[in-house]
Structures are given as C-alpha cells and as structure tokens.
Amino acid sequence: MNIKDLTKNDITDCARLLIKSYNQPPWRYNWEQEKAEKYLLEYADTKQFVGFTVWEGQEMTGALFAHTKTWWTADQLYIDELFISSEKQRSGYGKALLEHTEKWGKENGFPTIFLMTNKFMPSFKFYNKNDFSHAEHFIFMFKQV
C-alpha cells in the first residue's frame, strides 16, 4: 500500500474509481464519467485543495478529497470525499487514507478534521470506528428551489 498526493492528472482515474465505488449498493448512485470528473475537478481546482490517493502496486484503490478553511480559533481541514474501490473496502485502505490525512493535518497546522456523512450508510460506522465524533449541535440544512 502506497499513499501519494493527488494531482489533477489523477482526476480521470479518481472519477472511474468514484463510479465503481458509488454506483452500487448501498449508495446506488448513477454517476457518469464526464460528470464525475467535473465534480472532482471542482474540488481539485481550488487553492485550498488537499488530496491523497492510495495504491496497491500500479492500481489506484482509493482517494480522499479535502480542503482547508480559515477559522478564528484554528484553521480546519474538511474531508469532502473519501472512496475506496468496492473490492478493497474493509481492507484498511480507508483507514490508511484517514491516518495519512490526520498526519498531514497535524504537520500543517490543522488540528481539527471535519466531514459530513449519512448516518444511515456504512460510512457513518466507519468514521465512528476511526474516532470521529457525531456533533449533535450541527444540523445539515437544505432547501429545494
């Protein structure tokens, strides 16, 4: 297992992996390559982007997309996307990406990592198992227009 910094050259492969990960149960999304690349480039094109990929030999098996944010108490790191190839899930790749991201955060002055996930999906248990806390005082809101 090898973890590398994510670059724009990785976007096509990351999009393929996102599709492979999310277009099946339990998510059952319907990503297409062009839309997935556009989505991931929206993260990678920002000045505050931080990203990592995990590899098994020559095969990309996972990716993490994040961004930094200035806050009055301390700067923050937000994980936007983390996905692992379906056949490599539950094999330590996601945990390795999180640990690498935590190390990067500590080394670069980001003492807190935030993320959003669905509490009814397996990812919620995964993040809890990896010492993320559920913040009861935060509410995710939206409005259909």
Record the tokens describing residue 32, joined without a space. 């297409």
User: Does any domain span residue 139?
Assistant: no
Given a contact cutoff of 8 angstroms between Cβ atoms, the answer to whether 2 and 38 are in contact is: no
19 in any annotated domain? yes
The reply to whether 20 falls in a domain is yes
Assigned domain for 61 exists: yes
Integer Cα distance of 73 and 112 in angstroms = 11
Domain that residue 88 falls in: 2-129
Is 119 within the bounds of a domain? yes
pLDDT by residue (tens digit) across 4-57? 999 999 999 999 999 999 998 888 999 999 999 999 999 999 999 999 999 999
141 found inside a domain? no
- Domain of residue 103, CATH code: 3.40.630.30
Instruction: Give the number of domains in the chain.
Output: 1
At 49, list the tokens.
Answer: 């982007």
pLDDT band at 81, cuts 50/70/90? very high
What's the rounded Cα separation, in Å, for the pair 100 and 145?
39
Q: Is the pTM of this model over 0.75?
A: yes
At 111-133, the pLDDT tens digits run 999 977 777 777 777 667 766 77
Domain presence at residue 64: yes
Specify if 124 maps to a domain: yes
DSSP, collapsed to helix, strand or coil, labels residue 127 as: helix
Residue 136 confidence (pLDDT): 76
